[in-house]
Structures are given as structure tokens and as C-alpha cells.
Structure 1
Amino acid sequence: MSARPNKKRRVADKKATADAVSGKLKAAAQAALAIDGQALVQFVDPEGKSAGPQLDVPLGTSKEQLGTLLNQLLENAEEMPYSFHLEDNEITSNLAASFSKLAKGSQSTERVLNITYYPLAVFRVRPVTRCTSSLSGHIEAVLCVSFSPDSTKLASGSGDSTVRLWDLNTELPKHTCKGHLNWVLAVAWSPDGSRLASAGMDKIVLVWCTSSGKNIGALKGHSQPVTCATWQPLHVAEAFPWLATSSKDTTVRIWDTTAGACLRTLSSHAQPVMQVRWSGEKEDTGGVIYTAGRDCVIKVWNPKDGSMLNELKGHGHWINTLALNLDYVIRSGPFSHEPQKFADLAEKKEAAKKRYAEALELCGGERLLSGSDDFTLFLWKPLASKHPVCRMTGHQKIVNQVAFSPDGRWFASASFDKSVRLWDGRTGKYVHAFRGHVGDVYQLAWSADSRLLVSVSKDSTAKCWDIARRKLLEDLPGHADEVFAVDWSLDGTRVATGSKDRLLKIWRH
């Protein structure tokens, strides 16, 4: 007998809750409409150039309405996504909310408010949430992982002195590449995806054909372990791209992998060279090479004649990591997040050149970032000045890795202080510290749309962070030991992690 009144009461409670929620939503909508006042605004791009005239808009204007306005001003054929910033405050709901956060002296509707707009990727990468495959086969720790530019294959290097190629369509092993005599510390895909370079403790650089898994060249010359390998950007290469490798023997060597010959040896570092990056600027010289290491100096080289162009000084301890704001587009060459077919290398070069030019314009020029054992980062415009744009402090321990987002809007730094820090990609201004790891953070990887970041740590987890909301999106446990390596495929569908537990894990949405 008493069950029926209880049921009625539950229904009444649910109705009251629903009415309260809808009432709050209506009140919020009316509050947005009821915000009094107008403001003079001027849309400006990240470089400070004005887009259209000054506009008199209501303070209640929403982020979506600002987007519609800007698309009309820029005469975009289809509506493009943008993020808007009023001084340092991102506009997330409406203009009034960000206006109220301005410093007291700046809260005047009489002055013109500059709204900076940043283009966002037109596609959206979904966060990785689950492990779809645990790839076993390595019999020692997995030290490096890298997806191919077309996102169809994955390469891993291990302490068992093998390189393995994995087929991502089936998530099964494809080739085991044997030839190294010691740990493999670096794997690097050529920008057209046809070759893979691997190097490590045995001082030899091996080049593999990625379709057959066969060794097509052993490059000998370094007298100490090889620390890093990078390919020449496709659009500045005259024939097939060259390869640059850095070593603890204080030199950097440039190789022609087709002929199997060392073209140049760049030697003026006084200590082991730990990092090398190849920029796509200066097409006439085949790009520009940046090298850094334990002598605390970054050197800038002309790869065509091997001459040193500049020295960048500022760090007080070993430099562990370098990153270019165009790394993503250099690495992916002609391939984008959409599947494409190319007839030959010339067609790939043309596509790579076009993508590089677009990315360079979006980023507003090339920037270089360095991270060091002195707990600091430096942001450089190395071809414009030998003085840094800024010096960034905040980390409490050594900075292990830095990485720019694909659109150059942000960069992130991973440190042994267990945090990942987010910074503005143009100015180097500190934005946020992501905390959640309980061990040293080893590596980072960005999603192709620049909205997500994944980090791996000594605490045996990977974590996926939401950049816009500045919070942890997914915790990814599963490895049984430290996670040393991570990469996010260039089409955004998969994340690969490599661990001391000898497993590679593939994570997907």
C-alpha cells in the first residue's frame, strides 16, 4: 500500500529537479541577453594586423556570435573555427565575462578592445581512452617509438638492439629489423615514408626499406653512441632527402643515404651533441641545421657547405631538447590528416612545399625552443637574432623534452619535477601547469588538431590533457613499468607508448 505514494513522490521530485535546471538555464540565457552596455572591438590576428573595421558590439555577445562576425569580415566561404582572446583572457562564454576579468584600469568601454583571434583546426581529434593492443615481441625496454608520416606503420627501437615495424591496419608485427649490436636510441622516418633510419649505442646508423624491412645501408663514421637522427625537410631537398645524425663524439654528420656516404662532418661542439633539428627555411642552402648538447650552446649550420652561421648562448647547463614550431609539418611532409595518393617523389615535394608555406604563415615565422638541465627554456628566432625572444623559468628540475603544437599556438615542456607546463608559442608566456603524474615526466606528443596533449612518465602511466579547459581528460594506466616513449599518429587516430615492461601499447578512442 505504501509503495504508490513513494512512487508519486519520486516522480514529483524528478519534475521539480527538471524545472529547477530549466529555470537556471533560462535565467543564464536571459542574463546573457540582459548584459547592458556596448563595447568598441577590433579583431586582430596574432601578428597584430587588423581584420576589418572597429565594431560596436553588445557586451553580451557570445563566442559563437564573435565567430560568425569574424567569418563575415574575413569573407570566408565556409565558417571556420577560431579561439578569441581579450588581452590574456580567452573568451569562453561571452565578451562580458572576459571583460570583467580585465585589470581595473582597463575596464573601460570607451577604449577600443583588441580581440586576438587564433585559427583552430577544422577537424577534431578525439581523445584516446582505451588500449586496443599490447604489442609484444621486444625482449628489452622499448626506448623509442615513431609513426610513419602516412600513419599506416609504427616503428619501435629497443634495448634488445632490434627495430620493429608494425602494421597499424591489423595492429600486428610486420618486420623485425636486425643489425644493431646495442641499444637503439633513435628511429626517424624519411618525410616520404619510404625509409627509416635507426641509431644508438653501437655508433652505426642503419637505413631500412620500410616496405620490405631490409637493411639498405650501414652508415659508419661516428666514434661514440649516436644520440639523435633527423631527415632533411622534403621541400628543400634537391634529390632524396639527406639525413643528419648527432653523436657523443661531439660531431654531427650529414649523410646521403642513397649513396651510403657521409657528405659533411659538422665539428665545433666541445662536448657530446644530444640534439639535432633540420629547418625548412632557406631553400637555396637545403635548409638550416640546429645542433645542441652538453657544451650549453646551440649552433646554426648551412648544410650545403657545412659552414657555421651562428651560435646561440644562454643556457647554463646541458641542453637536452630542441623543438621547431614547424616540426609537425616537416615530419609529415606531403601527408595530412586526410588520406592521399601521390604518383612520385616530385608530386610529394610539391605537396610538402605547399603545406610548409601554409604552416609558416599560420605560425608567423619560424621559432626554435630549447630546454635544459638548468631548469629553464629559451625561445629563439634564430635566423633573425642571436638573442632569445624570452627565457622561461618555473620548472623545479631538469627539462627533459619540449614540443610545439602542430599549429604553433602553444608549446609544452616535460620535466623531472613531475609536471607538464604549457606556454604561449609566440611570446613564451607561461599559461598553465598540468599536475597529476607522480613520477618524472619523460615525453610528450600533441594531437594533430593541437587541442590535446599526451604525456608519459616514470609512474607507468600516460595521461591525456585538454588544452582549452586546462585539465586532465583521460588517465591511461596499463603499463607495468616506466613509460619511456610516446607518439601520436599524424592522422590523430592512435597514440603509441613504449615502456620498460617491453610492451608497446596502442591507445584509441
Structure 2
Amino acid sequence: MGGETKFHPYTAKSKRKQAAGDAAPAAPVGATVVAQFKSPEGEVCGPPLNLPADVNPEQLALLLNNLLQNEDPLPYSFLVDDTEITQNLHVDIIQGLQRSTEDLVTILYRPQAVFRVRSVTRCSSSLTGHTEAILSVCFSPDGTQLATGSGDTTVRIWDLATETPQFTLEGHKNWVQIVAWSPDCQILASGSMDSTIRLWNPKTGKPIGDALRAHSQVITSISWEPMHLNENCNRFASASRDGTVRIWDATLRKVLMTLSGHTGPVMCVKWGGDGLIYSASRDKTIKVWESTQGKLVRSLEGHAHWVNHLALSTDFILRTGPYDHTGSTFPDRSTAHAAATKRYNAATANGTRKERLASCSDDFTIFLWEPSTGKKPITRMTGHQQPVTHLSFSPDGRTIASASFDKSIKLWDAEKGVFISTLRGHVGAVFQVCWSSDSRQVLSGSRDSTLKTWDLKTKKLKIELPGHADEVYSVDWSPAGDKVASGGKDKVLKIWKH
């Protein structure tokens, strides 16, 4: 940010100086700048305009909405050379970037989410029931139910309307580290350290048949096939420490394909929106498979240590499928499938915006890839000083948040992989990060027993949420943005609201 001094011991004083000197950098009376609006896709919008140098973002939005002939005005953010205009054109660009008023300035505009997610500020429920640590929390795609997996070998489903326990699912013989909802919310899959996967009916809490046995070691990750690719929502991929990925048919309850090729435990699997499956392993590679015959498409190499986690730029849209923040319901599968396809096409600009993959590793780095086009990384992102354990793309696909054992969260531009900012405040390792559905806030859960929400615009701590008695292992933000759930070592599930 322009003029901000990092780690300066006299911030209060320097702020005062700035305030006193604020009159100096005001734009000269009558100064103008010739500017041209450009869309994220690179299309020019309208003719070059002669704008007053002190034009602010609100005025630019007014102007752009007129140019684009939007019936309802939409919110936009404006950037010049990757610098956002926050005060006005003169302060941020002419002075901040030392640009001449003679130059033609190209202003990149980005549409923002029309709805706003309110910040969660209080714990509305502390739900007991699990007798060991909670290892994973996950909202259903439609946001009506919540599932938790625990060290007590059970899975629990919670009713979010009343914030009460709904079902306890018993059957696993060891810790349940993974819970994953099918895109149509009809099946909940759980993966355990007992090497089995179990399927449950979340509406009744009953098991769907017996355990699925094929892996020989701990289940580390489960990912369902996105709804826009398969309206029956019956296929999912599972990863295990046995080094394989298996593709299952949930209705036939059998393995369709086994993807073997990794020489170490597979820690994460993702089923992408273009029909590719991505797997990350402790053999330091990421493998890309096609999902119809299970062929290996390419191997992505570059990490110098274990690959811990993968995130896709399409994650949010794949997770929510047909369900948006309005709480829509669908009479049958085909209308839901059509809605999911429409949302996916809108999010990927009908396939012109390629799916990005980000991987994080114990080598302290993050790599950004475009796996459909090649095996060379777009960029390598460095800056963390400890293993990077988790990362997450914002729902609009523009920003990546990464969590590390170095107690910080870092924000990166998802287009070029450029570093944006470090969010400091946790005093213990950060285990997980996730986003609000409007891409304006980041949520983190840490070993220091707190959750924190961070504001993407100010790059500062928004709200601290203390309350857990011990380490927070897993956090999730509901797809509609109205609730946050967290669980950890103190065995208590907490629901947070505005």
C-alpha cells in the first residue's frame, strides 16, 4: 500500500505527519488525466476519457455503469498496473506510481460480488457430543446441514436451522479425518484411518450399505465428481497413504478405476471442472489424470518436499454446484444439473478462463499451475518460512490465501501468482483458511485456539473469535455466508454468526 511503512516503531507519529501533509499531494486545480477502461478479459470499454485527476472509485463506478449500460449499478474495483485505486486517481496512481498526467492511463475494472457477507462476530452455539477431537467440519453444498468427523470414530450431522445434533453415524473403527458431501447433498462420504470409506444418507442418518474396502492404508482425501459433469452425482475419488487414488461408483458401491503411479502417500485429491483429477503426494509430485479411463495425463514436478494440499480456482463453484447464496431449491435432477452447468459456465467465462491449480508444500513454497495446458508451473510463490499446510482460492478465483506453520496467512494474486500481503496476528501455526462467498473476507483457524477473519480490502484483521479451549483444526464458512463452523482439540463444535 502506498506510503505504508512495514514494522515501523513510530506508526502513530508517521500517520500524524501523513495527515498533516495530506493537503500537499492534492491534485492541482483543473488537472485531468486521460484514461481508458479495460475489462479483466482485456476488452476496451468506451473511448479514452478526460477525467479529473481527483476522481474516486465511487465516481469511476458510476461512470463505468453508465458506459456498460447496466440496468442495476454493479460494484467494481479499479486497478492500474496491479495497484488498486482506493482514494483517488491522483493520490494512488499519479503520485503513488509516479505516473505522468500526460500518459494514457489504462484502468482495469473488476466486477465484485453483488451481495455482501456480513462478518461473523459471535458464537451462537457450542455443541458438545464428540468425545475426541473434531478433525473436519464441512457444510453441505446447500448450506442446510453440517457434518463433522472426529477422533472418536464417529461422524455427526447437525441441523443448522435449530443448531442441534441431528444424527450420530457409527461404524468406523478409527479416527474419521475426512467428510465430503455429494454435490446434490444426497450422500455423505466419510474416510477414516481404518482404511475404509463409508457412505451415509444425511436425511436419515442411516448407513448406505457396509464399509467400502479397497485401500490398504489411511484415507486422506475424498472429492466428488462435480454436478455439471454428472447429474447423477454418483462418482467420487478417494486418496490414501497407500499411494493410490481410486474412483468409486457410489450407487454400485464398487471401485471403477485405480489410479496408481505415485511412489509415496497421496495426501490430497481434487476432481476438476473439466473432468481432470488432480492428486498430490509425498513423492513431491502432482499427477493429472483424466476421469473416463483413468489415464495419466501429466505429472507436475517442481516441489522439493511433500505436497500437502491442492486448491482449484473453481473450487467454490464445484462445491456449491447449483446452489447460490439465495437458497434456491430444485424440483428434479435435470433442473439442478442445468443450474450447475450455467453457474460453472458463467464462472469460467464459457471455458475461456482456464482452471488453475495451486499446490502447497513442506518446502515452504506454493506453485501455481494451469494443468490443462502444460506441465510447466505459471510461477513459484515464496515467502513462507515454514511448511505451507493449506490454501484456498477466493470464490471469484482472483486471490489465493495460504496458511502456514510460520503463524501467518499470505494473500497472492491468482492470475500471476504475485504476492499481495501477509496477515499476521496468530501466535500459533495456522491450520486452515477459507473464504466468505463474496470473496471479501478470509477466515483462519489456528493452533493458538482462535479463529480470525481478515478483510481483503484493508488486508487487516477484521474480527478475532476466541472461545475454543484448544487448537482449532478445521474451519468452514457456509456457502451462503451466514454461518461459520469450527472444531478442534477441545471436542466442541462451535457455530458463529453475525
TM-score, structure 1 length as denominator? 0.91
Distance 2:122 2:26 in 1: 39
Counterpart residue type for residue 111 of structure 1: D
What secondary structure sits across from 1:330 in the alignment?
A: helix
Paired position in structure 1 for 2:251: 258
Match of 2:36 in 1: 42
Whether the aligned pair in 2 keeps the contact of 1:440 and 1:457 (CA below 8 Å) is yes
Q: What does 1:276-315 align with in structure 2 at a 5 Å threshold?
A: 276-281=269-274, 287-315=275-303
1:157, CA displacement in angstroms?
A: 0.3
Instruction: Establish whether residue 467 from structure 1 lines up as the match of residue 459 from structure 2.
Output: no
| Structure 1 CA distance for aligned equivalents of residues 181 and 144 of structure 2 | 12
Question: Aligned partner of 2:167: which letter?
Answer: H
* 1:198/1:206 contact within 8 Å kept: yes
Structure 2 match to 1:161? 153
Q: How far did residue 129 of structure 1 move? A: 0.6
- Counterpart residue number, 1:324: 312
Alignment partners' CA distance in 2, 1:241 and 1:312: 28
Write the letter of the residue equivalent to 1:438: V
Return the offset for 1:364. 3.0
Q: Secondary structure at the match of 1:54?
A: strand
Q: Could you tell me whether the CA contact under 8 Å between 1:232 and 1:242 is conserved in 2?
A: yes
The within-5 A match list for 1:200-239 is 200-217=192-209, 218-237=211-230, 239=232
SS at match of 1:480: coil
Q: Does structure 2 conserve the Cα–Cα contact (< 8 Å) formed by 1:165 and 1:173?
A: yes
Q: 1:353 to 1:474 in 2, by over 3 A?
A: same
1:482 aligns with 2:468: no
Letter in 2 for 1:188: A
Structure 1: gaps spanning 5 or more residues: 1-24, 282-286
- Per-residue CA deviation, residues 409-467 of structure 1 (Å, 9 max, x unaligned), is 11100000000000111111000000000000000110000000110100000001001
Post-superposition offset of 1:28: 8.9
2:238 to 245, 249, 261: 245
**Match status 1:340 vs 2:332:** no
Matched residue, 2:264: 271
In the TM superposition, residue 320 of structure 1 has moved relative to its aligned partner by 0.2
- Please identify, of 46-55 and 360-369, the stretch whose mean Cα deviation from structure 2 is larger: 360-369
Query: Any conservation in 1 of the 2:94–2:100 contact (CA below 8 Å)?
Result: no
- For the pair 1:361 / 2:349, whether they are aligned, the reply is yes
Q: 2:141·2:181 contact (CA, 8 Å) conserved in 1?
A: yes
CA contact (8 A) 1:144 1:158 kept: yes
The whole-number CA distance in structure 1 between the counterparts of 2:412 and 2:150 is 32
Provide Cα deviations, 1:271-291, integer angstroms capped at 9, x if missing partner.
Answer: 00001001111xxxxx11000
User: In 2, are the aligned partners of 1:320 and 1:372 still within 8 Å (CA)?
Assistant: yes
Distance 1:142 1:489 in 2: 18
**1:346 Cα deviation from its structure 2 partner:** 1.2
Contact 1:35 1:96 in 2 (8 A): no
Query: Which residue does 1:21 correspond to in 2?
Result: none
Secondary structure at the aligned position of 2:348 is classed as helix
8 Å CA contact 1:234–1:241 kept in 2: the answer is no
Query: Which range moves more in the overlay, 111-120 or 406-415?
Result: 111-120
Q: 2:64 aligns with which of 53, 61, 70?
A: 70
- 2:337 corresponds to 1:349: yes
Paired with 2:27 and 2:68, the residues of 1 have a C-alpha distance of 26
Residues in 1 aligned to 2:492 and 2:29: alpha-carbon distance in whole angstroms: 56
Structure 1: distance between partners of 2:23 and 2:80? 22
The structure whose Rg is larger is 1
User: What does the per-residue CA deviation read over 1:360-387, in whole Å, with 9 as the maximum and x for residues that have no partner?
Assistant: 1299321000000000000011111211
Structure 2 counterpart of 1:119, from 111, 120, 143: 111
Residues 26, 91 of structure 2: 8 Å contact kept: no
Secondary structure of residue in 1 paired with 2:371: coil
Residue 4 of structure 1 corresponds to none
How far, CA to CA, are the matches of 1:478 and 1:341 in structure 2?
34
Contact between 1:86 and 1:98, CA under 8 Å: does it hold in 2? no
**Structure 2 unaligned spans of 5+:** 1-18
Determine if the alignment matches structure 1 residue 180 to structure 2 residue 168: no
Give the residue type in structure 1 aligned to 2:229.
V
Q: Is the 8 A contact 1:204 1:219 kept in 2?
A: yes
Match for 1:417: what amino acid? Answer: D
* 1:180-226 per-position Cα deviation (integer Å, ceiling 9, x unaligned): 00000100011111111000201110011110011103211000000
How far is the alpha carbon of 1:116 from its aligned partner? Answer: 1.0
Distance in 1 (CA, whole Å) between partners of 2:26 and 2:113 is 28
The aligned counterpart of 1:53 is: 47
Letter in 2 for 1:307: K
Q: Is the 8 A contact 1:121 1:450 kept in 2?
A: yes
Is the CA contact 1:156–1:163 (under 8 Å) kept in the aligned structure 2?
yes
1:196–1:209 contact (8 Å) kept in structure 2:
yes
Are 1:89 and 1:101, in contact at CA under 8 Å, matched by a contact in 2? no
- After TM superposition, the structure 1 stretch with the greater mean CA deviation from structure 2, 358-367 or 90-99, is 358-367
CA RMSD, 1 decimal: 1.8
1:198 maps to 2:190: yes
Partners of 2:286 and 2:24 in 1: CA distance:
57
Q: Distance in 2 between matches of 1:407 and 1:153?
A: 24
Structure 1 distance, partners of 2:474, 2:327, is: 26
User: Which deviates more from structure 2 when the two are superposed, residues 341-350 or residues 318-327?
Assistant: 341-350
Q: Do 1:378 and 1:392's aligned partners in 2 also have CA atoms closer than 8 Å?
A: yes
Q: Secondary structure at the match of 1:361?
A: coil
Q: Which residue in 1 is equivalent to 2:7? A: none
Residues 106-157 of structure 1 deviation map (CA, whole Å, 9 limit, x = unaligned): x112221111111100000011111010010000000000001111110000
Match of 1:401 in 2: 390
Q: Whole-Å Cα distance in 2 between the matches of residues 341 and 238 of structure 1?
A: 15
Residues 222, 247 of structure 1: 8 Å contact kept = yes
TM-score, reference length from structure 2: 0.93
Match of 1:136 among 119, 123, 128: 128
Letter in 2 for 1:271: G
SS class of match (1:199): strand
In 2, Cα distance between the equivalents of 1:58 and 1:426? Answer: 30
2:434 is aligned to 445
Q: Is the 8 A contact 1:497 1:505 kept in 2?
A: yes
Matches of 1:507 and 1:497, distance apart in 2: 8
Q: Give 1:481 shift.
A: 0.4
Aligned pair 1:388/2:377, yes or no?
Answer: yes
**Aligned AA (2:295):** S
